[in-house]
Amino acid sequence: MENLQYSKILRKNWEIIALVIGVAVVLALIISLFQPFQYAASTKILIIQKQDRNLDAYTATKSAERIGKNLTSIMYTSSFYNEVIESNSTIKSKFSTDSRERRKEWEKNVKAVVVPETGIIEITAYDVDRAHASQLVRNIAYVLVNKGADYHGGGADVAIKIVDDVFISKFPVKPNIALNTLLAVVIGFLFGSAFVVLKEAKRANQEEFVQVSEINGENNFGFEPGYELAAEPVIEAKRTEIKTMYDHLQ
Does one domain contain both 69 and 50?
Answer: yes
Does one domain contain both 92 and 54?
Answer: yes
Work out the percent of the chain whose per-residue pLDDT is above 90: 28
Q: What is the pLDDT of residues 58-100, one digit of tens each?
A: 777 888 888 889 999 999 988 898 888 887 888 888 888 888 8
Does one domain contain both 126 and 193?
Answer: no
Does one domain contain both 91 and 26?
Answer: no
Average pLDDT over residues 207-233: 55
The pLDDT mean for the chain works out to: 80
Does one domain contain both 137 and 59?
Answer: yes
Total-model pTM: 0.67
pLDDT > 60? residue 223: no
DSSP of the chain: -PPP-HHHHHHHTHHHHHHHHHHHHHHHHHHHHTSPPBEEEEEEEEEEE---TT--HHHHHHHHHHHHHHHHHHTTSHHHHHHHHHT-HHHHHHS-SSHHHHHHHHHHHEEEEEPTTSSEEEEEEEESSHHHHHHHHHHHHHHHHHHTHHHH--GGGEEEEE-S--EE-SS--BS-HHHHHHHHHHHHHHHHHHHHHHHHHHHHHHHHHHHHHHHTT--TT-PPTT--PPPPPPPPPPPP----HHHHH-
Does one domain contain both 49 and 94?
Answer: yes
CATH number for position 73: 3.30.70.1130
Q: Which domain holds residue 158?
A: 39-168
Does one domain contain both 189 and 163?
Answer: no
Domain count, the chain: 2
